[in-house]
Structure 1
Amino acid sequence: MAEFNFIQKLHSSTKRDYVARVVEADKAECARVAQQWGQDYWDGERRFGYGGYRYDGRWRPVAEELARHLKLKPGMRLLDVGCGKGFLLYEFTQVVPGLVVAGLDISAYAIDNAKPEIKPFLSVGDAASLPYGDGEFDAVVSLGCLHNLNLPDLWRAVGELQRVCPGTAKYVMVESFRDEREKANLLYWQLTCRSFHDPQSWAWLFGQAGYGGDWGFIFFE
């Protein structure tokens, strides 16, 4: 299993003022609000999270790349853990017609405000305790979710991904850093991250937890 960074180009297209996030707001309070995963996080002011998370097609190229990488075919069952409003899952259904999809997110607000076409296939739940049977899925993705868990829950969540999808068609993306500048930028910018690891440590953790898929990162350059 190996590292493939499909999301960095999209991530880097957004400009961020890392220092301003720390000095111009009560960052601790902003983080407290963000970790409620409610309206403020998704559609409130930028200091609390996304600053308005609306469908704009940005996930289509990512879905295309991941569909090729995971060799998705019509009739396969795909789970997105940490699906948010379901925009990526919607794009998967457009890229691979006939794909059977399911999504799970901790945020009831995100599920309630999901893209209408995909909302019936989404559920509120915990990545560390997936409400699915052993081997229920042919493929799993989880983008920008697992770094929000503390280490015990992260360990359980990685095991859960493997349990519901024992094959190799899995892809996880988390936040990481390659040097001290990127580590500082991540610490300045993040509101919800609880697990801070460099790529080598993430790879070690995935291996120790028995994860049998691929992974990738976004870096705060």
Structure 2
Amino acid sequence: MAYRDFVSLIHKSTPRDYLARVTQRDKAEVAELAIQWDYDYWDGSRETGYGGYKYDGRWRKVADAMIAAYGLKPGSRVLDVGSGKGFLLHDFKEACPGIEVAGIDVSPYAVEHTMESVKADCRVGHARKLPWPDDHFDLVISITTLHNLYIQDLFPALSEIERVSRGGKYICVEGYRNEREKVNLMYWQLTCRAFHTPEEWQFIFERAGYTGDHEFIFFE
């Protein structure tokens, strides 16, 4: 299990006003809207989610780095667990013509609004039960998704990622290393269910039998 710096390539490019997130509007109210995974979360205001989740090409550098790190080539199969609107999958296909991609997301809204280039490759579903056979993908990724699961779903999701991969596996989750980062995470998050330090995440990975790579993002 290796630590990878993929999402860190773009994570710090987004400015965040942590205090505004909890003072401008009732945080519990906006969180209730966010966990519906509908318009408010993806394309509503910044208070309830992304504030309009639109393709801007920023994920291309992540796709390029993953292709290089995992030796992907035409014919390789990649699964994104928590694929959102398919931006990263689109960039995979542009960066490596002939690659086969698949995506799954719990949000019907996100899948309905997935980019046309990969829309046929994405479906609605839950990470705890992936509808593919064993050893089907050369790379399975899940970026800022699994921390949104309660513990009873988190363990099966990790096991499923392990099961359907015949090669690379990469997970990125939120975490905290000190009290400031913990508070900032609590202020900023809208959908998080698993609040853990890196050491706790390592414990969970090992108990779930997850053997792939990982990365943490922190709110400094």
TM-score, L = length of structure 1: 0.97
For residues 217 and 63 of structure 1, the distance between their equivalents in structure 2, rounded to whole angstroms, comes to 17
Q: Give yes or no for contact 2:103–2:122 (8 Å, CA) kept in 1.
A: yes
Tell me the distance in 2 between the aligned counterparts of 1:180 and 1:120: 43
Does the alignment pair 1:44 with 2:65?
no
CA contact (8 A) 2:81 2:141 kept: yes
Q: Which runs of 5+ in 1 are unaligned?
A: none
Q: 1:58 and 1:85 mapped to 2: Cα distance?
A: 14
The answer to whether structure 1 residue 73 and structure 2 residue 73 are counterparts is yes
In structure 2, the residue matched to 1:199 is: 198
How far apart, CA to CA, are the structure 2 residues paired with 1:172 and 1:161? 9
Partner of 2:57: 57
Structure 2: distance between partners of 1:2 and 1:138: 17
Of 197-206 and 46-55, more deviation after overlay is shown by 197-206
Structure 2 length normalisation: TM-score? Answer: 0.98
Tell me if structure 2 keeps the 8 A contact 1:90–1:118.
Answer: yes
SS at match of 1:114: coil
CA RMSD of aligned residues (A): 0.9
> 1:89-118: CA deviations, max 9, x gaps?
000111111111100000010111111111
The aligned residue for residue 100 of structure 1 is: 100
Q: Secondary structure at the match of 2:216?
A: strand
**How many equivalent residue pairs?**
220
Q: 2: distance between equivalents of 1:125 and 1:35?
A: 15
The aligned residue for residue 178 of structure 2 is 179
User: 1:217 is matched with which residue?
Assistant: 216
Bigger mean CA deviation after superposition, 66-75 or 211-220: 66-75
Q: Deviations over 1:48-82 (max 9, x none)?
A: 10000001101000111111112211111110000
What is the CA deviation profile of residues 178-212 of structure 1, one whole-angstrom value per residue up to 9, with x for unaligned ones?
Answer: 11111110000000000011111111211121112
Matches of 1:44 and 1:98, distance apart in 2: 35
In the aligned structure 2, how far is the partner of 1:207 from the partner of 1:5? 20
**Which is further off, 81-90 or 71-80?**
71-80
Mean alpha-carbon deviation: is it higher for 133-142 or for 180-189? 133-142
User: Partner of 2:137: helix, strand, or coil?
Assistant: coil
CA distance in 1, matches of 2:29, 2:5: 32
Displacement over 2 Å in runs of 4+: none
Question: 1:9 deviation in Å?
Answer: 3.6
1:126 aligned partner = 126
Percentage of pairs with the same residue: 54
Q: CA deviation at 1:8?
A: 2.1
Asked if 1 retains the 8 angstrom alpha-carbon contact of 2:136 and 2:166, the reply is: no
> Pairwise mapping of residues 114-153 of structure 1 onto structure 2 (< 5 A)?
114-153=114-153
